[in-house]
Amino acid sequence: MWGVSKNMWGVKMNKMKGVARLGRMVAVVVALLSVVVPSEAFAAPRNKSQVKYVFYFIGDGLGINHVRGAELYNAKVHPEMANGGELSFTRFPVHTFITTHSATSLVTDSAAAGTALATGVKTINGYLGVDAEERPVKNITEFVKERGWKVGICSNVGINHATPSAFYAHCKKRSEYNYIIDRLIESDIDFMAGSTILSCSKSGLKAQDIVEQARAAGIEVLQSADRAAEVRNKRVMLLSDSLDRKSMRFATDRSESCPTIVDFTRAAIRYLEREAVDDGFMLMVEGGHIDYACHDNDAVTTFEEINDFSASIAMAVEFAERHPDQTLIVVTSDHETGGMAIGYSKYKMNMERLAFQRTSEEQLTLKMQHMRESGKVTWEDMQQLLSDYLGLWDKVTLRKKDEETLRRIFRDNFLQEGEKVVGLYTSNEKMAAEAVRILNKRAYVNWIGLSHTGAQVPLFVKGVGYERFMECFDNTDVPKKIAEVIGGELN
Ligand SMILES: [Zn+2]
């Protein structure tokens, strides 16, 4: 404190030409007081708002319409939800939007966007943690680690998928899963959670082999969120209970026993809060399944995944209520996926019609394939399936031309085992994709395509230093602002 006081006096004296003698006298008095009065008596009030806990939530593929759509869907389909189905983050003091383009494309992929959100540097699609010239760049995880903080990274897709990898890896190929997981194992990330571990098929390694590598490196690898939360003085890797799947089950499909991104977040907070002790912690949570559902143009699955994402954020909000002067919560997205439109025709929206979808398009595909394998399938059997799982005919009436389309696909495609609708992560029956598309359109929800778009994405911020985020315009600004709030400069 005395260092600050002397500087303040110094500045003042420079400005006060002609009163140097007075200044010297004051300096002498201050020096004398420093001998006889404890320095604490002159200390400024302690700054209570010093960030110590940072939560960074990334909804993969989450666009502005997805957020609004989820709230409108909740209002009609989930009347039991608190606050009319409002998401946990839409009333944060900062709610703005940011641009997402990569270094060489107006439409980013998750690797370049993840790199921008982790390092503040634009790069080429497919690159992770390196700039456009392939030079490694520091990420916000390394930044907080230099300050002695603990770090957690959670995702409901593979722990070495693009978004989480951007927070610990540096390489020019997002598909180098084996190289990337090695970087995670050798890193100093304290708590890591994901549905599974992805591995390059040509390597012959399975997720279980890599689990053994992680254990050999001293990491506690568990498939129970409750047990992971209780680990002490050891790094933790928490995986879902089905390592052979590429991702955890969608919120629309899973049984009660499946761990969710909410379970991961709860365990991470319990672990980090205890392990951080005097230091701070940063927790990055990715809602990766939102993007998977958007790549299928499946509105109900998208909205239910957003609800999971929102419930994870609610835990950070609850934590912040216990540590209001020390917590920063940032919620954003890496890009928009699908070009979702809500209320695209006739000034209408009928979200209540989505209440009857009971499974994801991906699972509907599996049910159809199972049906085909079981023997002779009639049009009436297919109608029954679509009625049971989407509410078509029974609860949601179909227009004549939509029914004709479904009949044609049943005859010309499904019965012939024709072409599939191939998204980035799934290969669905055309029958399932068209049925879901028709249900979406009956609710007046529509999609432009199966890929990412160049749209801006939302940014919501609450907590210590939120004011700085009012001037966030691009995805690269976000980690730089987080670093500023913590007290430093990132790249
Ligand atoms: Zn993405």
Mean pLDDT across the chain, nearest whole number?
90
């980690």: which residue's tokens?
Answer: 479
User: What is the three-class DSSP state of 453?
Assistant: strand
Distance 140 CA to ligand 1 centre (A): 18
Global pTM reads 0.89
Beta strands in 124-245 (DSSP E): 150-155, 191-194, 220-222, 236-239
Quick one: pLDDT band at residue 30, thresholds 50, 70, 90?
Answer: very low
Per the model's pLDDT, the better-predicted residue between 45 and 486 turns out to be 486
Distance 319 CA to ligand 1 centre (A): 27
Quick one: pLDDT band at residue 9, thresholds 50, 70, 90?
Answer: very low
Helix or strand holding residue 476 (H, E): none
Distance 54 CA to ligand 1 centre (A): 21
pLDDT at 12 over 70: no
User: In terms of CATH architecture, what is 53-340+451-486?
Assistant: 3-Layer(aba) Sandwich (3.40)
Return d(Cα 134, Cα 121) in angstroms, integer. Answer: 12
Distance 351 CA to ligand 1 centre (A): 26
By CB neighbour count within 10 A (0-12 exposed, 13-18 middle, 19+ buried), where does 420 fall? middle
Would you list the domain boundaries of the chain? 2-42, 53-340+451-486, 353-446
Distance 167 CA to ligand 1 centre (A): 14
**Range in 99-103, 124-128, 361-365, 375-379 the model is least confident about:** 375-379
Distance 318 CA to ligand 1 centre (A): 27
pLDDT at 96 over 70: yes
Return d(Cα 19, Cα 37) in angstroms, integer. Answer: 26
C-alpha distances out from residue 248 to 131, 215, 252, 254, 261, Å: 31, 22, 11, 8, 9
Say which DSSP state 413 is in: I
C-alpha distances out from residue 169 to 156, 179, 184, 189, Å: 18, 9, 7, 11
At 295-334, the pLDDT tens digits run: 999 999 999 999 999 999 999 999 999 999 999 999 999 9
Residue 320's pLDDT is 98
Distance 178 CA to ligand 1 centre (A): 20
Give the pLDDT mean for 37-54: 60
> Which residue type sits at 372?
R
At 436-445, the pLDDT tens digits run: 999 999 999 9
User: What is the three-class DSSP state of 249?
Assistant: coil
C-alpha distances out from residue 119 to 145, 329, 481, Å: 14, 18, 11
**Range in 47-51, 136-140, 153-157 the model is least confident about:** 47-51
Find, among 312, 308, 263, the residue nearest to 285 by Cα: 312
Report whether 129 contacts 166 (CB < 8 A). yes
Q: Which residues of 169-181 are buried (b: 16+ CB within 10 A; e: fewer)?
A: bbbeebebbbebb
Distance 335 CA to ligand 1 centre (A): 6
Give the pLDDT mean for 430-451: 97
At 212-248, the pLDDT tens digits run: 999 999 999 999 999 999 999 999 999 987 777 766 7
Distance 421 CA to ligand 1 centre (A): 20
The residues near 253 (Cβ < 8 Å, ≥ 6 apart) are 359, 360, 362, 363
The residues near 116 (Cβ < 8 Å, ≥ 6 apart) are 100, 102, 108, 122, 123, 474, 475, 476, 478
Return d(Cα 189, Cα 235) in angstroms, integer. Answer: 7
Distance between first and last Cα of the chain: 29
Report whether 265 contacts 315 (CB < 8 A). yes
Distance 439 CA to ligand 1 centre (A): 25
Per the model's pLDDT, the better-predicted residue between 13 and 111 turns out to be 111
pLDDT at 346 over 90: no
Give the pLDDT mean for 287-297: 96
Give the pLDDT mean for 384-391: 98
Give the pLDDT mean for 181-210: 91
Distance 375 CA to ligand 1 centre (A): 39
């996926």: which residue's tokens?
Answer: 337
Give the pLDDT mean for 456-479: 97
